[in-house]
Amino acid sequence: MSPWVSVALLFLLSGIVVGAMVSLNQLLGPRATSDVKQETFECGNPPSGGAWGRFTVRFYMTAILFILFDVEVVFLFPWAVLFRDLGLFGFFEMLTFLLVLAVGLLYAWRKGALEWD
């Protein structure tokens, strides 16, 4: 038996489950619509303004920088666990990694990407 049979069986089973859930939702789900149900829900408050508000580019830049540096910090955890096994070579590799990360942060800081006016 091929080792890929179990992977194919997993994909087949997950496809069947997804198809069944979507079909059951269409068959058994409520169909009654009203103006109240079609209205935008804002945590119990009356809707204010349009649903398609515009955000400044600074909002997206801050979000991207946060995700970038957050993900980069995650790479420190496996290194910290294997710190003694990696030795001096691993230390200098991580030092290089942190230096590149610090240069990127300094660049973003100098360009004003972290300023929120």
Rounded CA-CA distance 115/59 in Å is 10
pLDDT of 68: 86
- Would you say residue 49 has pLDDT above 90? no
Helix (H, G, I), strand (E, B) or coil at 4: helix
pLDDT of 60: 85
Say which residue, 18 or 74, is predicted with more confidence: 18
Q: Find out whether 94 and 79 touch, Cβ atoms under 8 Å.
A: yes
The residue extents of the domains of the chain are 4-111
Percent of the chain whose pLDDT exceeds 70 = 96
pLDDT of 51: 64
Say which residue, 108 or 17, is predicted with more confidence: 17
- Would you say residue 40 has pLDDT above 80? no
Give mean pLDDT, residues 46-75: 81
**What is the fold, at CATH topology level, of the domain defined by 4-111?**
Methane Monooxygenase Hydroxylase; Chain G, domain 1 (1.20.58)
Rounded CA-CA distance 74/77 in Å is 6
